[in-house]
């Protein structure tokens, strides 16, 4: 890097480069100021559009809030309709207990002790082993 050509050609001190850099900087500043002024004038003329957009967004949010509430109600209704009904048989295949384990603690304990046999629809069948 100590070659004589590198040391002789230092183009950053050239007046042409400095003048070109200054011109580019002034043009960039002018474009920036022009764009900033343009944005401010557009903001003032679009206040009515912004109000209309805000009302539209509020209406859409209200619609989705109502829709979500209806969807949640439907899910709860389906969960209530699909109440689990269990039938527990003893070792001799006689029905020992039946009902909804969500409502009966003793039936839930029996389900936990029993072996799963099968299910049909919302009914599940279990067998108690000896």
| Closest by CA position to 128, among listed 97, 99, 89, 100 | 89
pTM: 0.39
Q: What is the pLDDT along the chain (130 residues), one digit of tens a residue?
A: 555 565 555 555 577 777 888 888 888 887 887 777 766 555 555 555 578 777 888 887 777 766 666 767 777 776 665 667 899 999 888 988 988 888 888 988 988 899 999 988 778 999 998 6
Residues 6+ apart with CB under 8 A from 82: 122
């Amino acid at each position: 890097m100590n070659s004589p050509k590198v040391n002789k050609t230092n183009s950053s001190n050239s007046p042409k480069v400095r003048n070109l850099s200054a011109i580019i900087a002034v043009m960039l500043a002018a474009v920036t100021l022009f764009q900033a002024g343009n944005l401010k004038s557009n903001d003032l003329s679009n206040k009515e559009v912004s109000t209309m957009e805000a009302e539209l967004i509020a209406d859409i949010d209200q619609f989705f809030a109502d829709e979500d509430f209806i969807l949640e109600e439907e899910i709860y209704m389906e969960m209530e309709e699909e109440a689990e009904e269990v039938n527990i048989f003893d070792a001799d295949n006689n029905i020992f207990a039946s009902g909804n384990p969500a409502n009966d603690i003793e039936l839930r304990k029996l389900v936990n002790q029993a072996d799963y046999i099968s299910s049909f629809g919302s009914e599940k069948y279990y067998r108690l082993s000896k």
